[in-house]
Amino acid sequence: MTTRIIGTGSYVPDQIVTNDDLAKIVETSDEWIRSRTGIGERRIATADSTSDMAAKAAQAALDQAGVRAEEIDLILLGTSSPDHCFPNGACEIQAHIGAVNAACFDISAACTGYVFALNTAHAFISTGMYRTALVIGADVLSKLVDWGDRGTCVLFGDGAGATVVRADERGILGMNMHSEGAKGGVLTCGSRSNGNFLLGKKPELGYMSMDGQEVFKFAVKKVPECITEVLASTGTPKEDITYFVIHQANYRIIESIAKRMKIDPARFPVNMEHYGNTSAASVPILLDEMNREGKFKPGDKIVLSGFGGGLTWGATLLEW
């Protein structure tokens, strides 16, 4: 028995912010952003919270799967930008959709959040503890970036993607998850400084800070490694993979990964032109778009891979 994706859904806010819009608030240009990242525009949440968006994506996935909210045993939300420290975001989604029978918790693994959450759900389902789970990636990083820092604010967008997964004969074939906490400083966000009556100050929430080149080097090294690992662990030749659905951070990162792995870049779908880097939401949003366009056939082998703050990275190999 394994774990199969039986429904997908996604949601992005209506508000589009183009590169030209950003050139009005920081010193940048459409040409710089497009040529360095492949990003043309992104959605920015003005009314929706992280759990609002996640619940809309989750409901779309449930509708597609034909599963009632009460049938869900487990809700896992990959996010770095929950609405509150507690209740956790997964509990808030539970309340939105009425999944009264689910255990709910968040997975904090930055942009790798969805892949870690999917693999965690698979681990629970494989033991027989749970049968049906909602696995979601959602982030509103627009509330955590410094809108005066051109090195980061041009990269991110807000959104949510969700999948319903269930115990089945066909589905996940292999997975891995990795972390390197010692390198965590190259990509940090939302650091909370102490604040209390003894210190005489209130706690402060810090903005995102990133060493872009270090993150770039990390991604192009570690993503090929974890994909190679998941293929080797299941005895699957790379030629058998129909699509490599990779975290949508930067077109040049994906191009470099394809080149290193000697795989045609056409098998690495991209959509960051329209959404930017939506962090934990990027893999499930792209999965949902492709699924709704009818790109996946039963039996297709697909690799999912994420990388991000932590540092964290990992991969999942599944048969559709």
Known catalytic residues are 111, 247, 277
| Residue 51 binding ligand UT7, by CB under 6 A | no
Q: Give the start-end residues of each E strand in 140-252.
A: 159-168, 172-179, 187-188, 192-193, 204-205, 209-210, 241-246
User: Which residues contact residue 220 at a Cβ distance below 8 angstroms, ignoring those fewer than 6 apart?
Assistant: 253, 256, 257, 260
Q: Which of 143, 188, 209, 216 binds ligand UT7 (CB under 6 A)?
A: 216
Rounded to the nearest whole angstrom, what is the least distance from the CB of residue 110 to ligand UT7 in the complex?
A: 7
Q: Which of 202, 213, 293, 297 binds ligand UT7 (CB under 6 A)?
A: 213
- Cα separation, 242 vs 249, in Å, equals 21
Nearer to ligand UT7, 75 or 219 (CB): 219
Rounded to the nearest whole angstrom, what is the least distance from the CB of residue 308 to ligand UT7 in the complex?
A: 4
Nearer to ligand UT7, 69 or 215 (CB): 215
Rounded to the nearest whole angstrom, what is the least distance from the CB of residue 256 to ligand UT7 in the complex?
A: 11
Nearer to ligand UT7, 51 or 250 (CB): 250
Among 17, 8, 2, smallest CA distance to 274 is for: 17
Token representation of residue 81:
């930008």
- Cα separation, 101 vs 103, in Å, equals 7
| Residue 6 binding ligand UT7, by CB under 6 A | no
Q: Which residue has the tokens 């490599």?
A: 244
N-terminal to C-terminal alpha carbon distance within the chain: 15
Nearer to ligand UT7, 176 or 278 (CB): 278
Stretch that binds ligand UT7, among 76-84, 130-138, 207-215, 289-297 (CB under 6 A): 207-215
Stretch that binds ligand UT7, among 32-40, 87-95, 98-106, 262-270 (CB under 6 A): 32-40
| Residue 212 binding ligand UT7, by CB under 6 A | yes
| Residue 111 binding ligand UT7, by CB under 6 A | yes
Rounded to the nearest whole angstrom, what is the least distance from the CB of residue 269 to ligand UT7 in the complex?
A: 17
Among 315, 297, 313, 2, smallest CA distance to 165 is for: 2
Q: Which of 96, 150, 183, 267 binds ligand UT7 (CB under 6 A)?
A: 150
Stretch that binds ligand UT7, among 46-54, 136-144, 149-157, 226-234 (CB under 6 A): 149-157
| Residue 215 binding ligand UT7, by CB under 6 A | yes
- Cα separation, 180 vs 192, in Å, equals 21
Q: How far is CA 299 from CA 4, 229, 302, 320, in A?
A: 12, 21, 9, 5
Among 149, 147, 159, 122, smallest CA distance to 247 is for: 159
Sign of CA dihedral 16, 18, 24, 25: positive
Q: Which of 77, 154, 246, 257 binds ligand UT7 (CB under 6 A)?
A: 154
Q: Give me the sheet containing 312-319, strands edge to edge.
A: 172-179, 312-319, 301-308, 241-246
- Cα separation, 215 vs 218, in Å, equals 5
| Residue 37 binding ligand UT7, by CB under 6 A | yes
Stretch that binds ligand UT7, among 125-133, 134-142, 209-217, 312-320 (CB under 6 A): 209-217
Token representation of residue 19:
């590169």
Q: Please count the residues of the chain.
A: 320
Residues that bind ligand UT7 (CB under 6 A): 28, 32-33, 36-37, 111, 150-151, 154, 210, 212-213, 215-216, 249-250, 277, 308
